[in-house]
Amino acid sequence: MKKKQGLTKKEVIIDEAVELFVNKGFTASTNELINRAGIAKGTLYHYFKSKDQLIVEIYKTLMFEIEGECVSEMLEKDDPLAYTKDVFGKIVSWFIKNPNRFAYINSFESSPYIKIHALSVRETLSGPQKNIMQKVNMGVMKNYNTDMITFFDFAFTRSMANYFLSQSNPMAKFKKEFEEAFDLYWNGASR
């Protein structure tokens, strides 16, 4: 087994699978993953019952990783605009710093897996939707369909990350232009 410092076997499998699926697509075989990760077939299937489960679990893991690293609970004393800008900035920055993980998320969300496994990944939307409803209830955001706003928010963070990643120095461009990009988003979604 490839030993990446401080990672569990499951984390190594996920890291190697992200790299493999980003480079070869979801049609890459589990045998390729087993060879790449340097594990036994039984080890893979100990953690994931099938390739489909692995693909879905990676997506969920990454979405919850983003939420854990980038999103804090909005408190009553928080300014909704400043809070949202801070969270979105952290998310876009995470995408820039983790381009392969970001590419995996994009691949998953534009693949048939998102529709086939919609119910099993639905839980990844609960945090963002709770956050949106909090802003709607405060009268800060328009009372549109929460799913629609969630996808709009996702589209914003992903399109901004794609924009910045297309630049020669993504993080410098992010630091220089994110405020303007966020202003474009906020003025389209706020009252």
Verdict on whether the full-model pTM lies above 0.85: yes
Class of the domain covering 51-189: mainly alpha
Q: Tell me the C-alpha distance between 153 and 136, whole Å.
A: 14
DSSP state of 110: T
Q: Can you give the pLDDT at residue 76? A: 85
Q: Can you give the pLDDT at residue 191? A: 58
Below-50 pLDDT ranges, the chain: none
Residues of the chain with CATH 1.10.10.60: 1-48
Give residue-wise pLDDT tens across range 58-101.
Answer: 999 999 999 999 998 888 899 999 999 999 999 999 999 999 99
Determine contact, residues 96/162, Cβ cutoff 8 Å.
no
Q: Tell me the C-alpha distance between 25 and 15, whole Å.
A: 15
User: Could you tell me the fold of the domain covering 1-48?
Assistant: Arc Repressor Mutant, subunit A (1.10.10)
Residue 148's identity, in one-letter code, is: M
* Residue 113, both tokens: 């897996």
Q: Can you give the pLDDT at residue 7? A: 84
Q: Tell me the C-alpha distance between 39 and 12, whole Å.
A: 10
Residues of the chain with CATH 1.10.357.10: 51-189
Q: Can you give the pLDDT at residue 190? A: 57
Q: Whose CA is closest to 76, among 129, 140, 152, 154?
A: 140
Distance between start and end Cα atoms, the chain: 54
Determine contact, residues 183/136, Cβ cutoff 8 Å.
no
Q: Can you give the pLDDT at residue 188? A: 66
